[in-house]
Homo-oligomer: A and B are copies of this chain.
Amino acid sequence: MEMINAEIFTLTYGSMVRQLVADYEDVEEVNKQLDKMGFNIGQRLIDEYLAKSKTQRCSDFRETAEKIAKVGFKMFLNTTASVTNWNADGTECSLILEDNPLTDFVELPEQLSALKYSNLLCGVIRGALEMVNMDVECSFVKDMLRGDDVYEMRLKLLSSSTESYPFKDDD
């Protein structure tokens, strides 16, 4: 697996966010844009994940969330998350990030307090899971840049189908 220095990624991501903030007047629009960019990235990254992670097909959403937290975050950001706060029927959970490489050296100025700086990650998860036929919502509910004690992403399964990806002709 090709690896590069994390700092150039962190700084490049920061440049991109700064550019979006400069180009869009509305912070909510920046949040949306980051999510959308992440979605496109996730649709590509899932191939790398499936090819390189050598994990088995997930049996349910609980296992999927664990794999994202322990294998996906490790593979792509060299960090891990913990999975907590499940709802009763196992369709919603939180990913708590122990470390967020995107936000090294970052401080949000007061006028950007509504910015979801790391929102790209939500889009990545959404995009990756869509490719394996899981339709999810994902959003940051806690953010250390906004004064919270952790980074918490809330993940909600909306629907899933049993078709497997990659689709095979002989299925």
Chain A interface residues toward B at CB < 8 A = 1-9, 11-13, 15-16, 19-20, 23, 33, 37, 40-41, 44-45, 48, 75-78, 101, 105, 120, 124
| Inter-chain pairs besides A11-B40, A19-B33, 9 sampled, C-beta below 8 Å | A1-B5, A2-B6, A3-B3, A3-B78, A4-B5, A5-B77, A5-B78, A8-B45, A12-B37
Please state the number of chain copies in the assembly: 2
Contact B78 A11 (CB under 8 A): no
Nearest B residue to A22, CB-CB: B23
Please determine whether B40 and A4 come into contact, CB atoms closer than 8 angstroms: no
CB-based contact A44/B11 at 8 Å: yes
Which of B5, B75, B105 has a CB less than 8 Å from the CB of A2?
Answer: B5
CA distance A11 to B3 in the complex (A): 14
Residues on B with beta carbons closer than 8 Å to the beta carbon of A40 = 11, 15
Does the CB pair B2–A15 fall under 8 Å? no
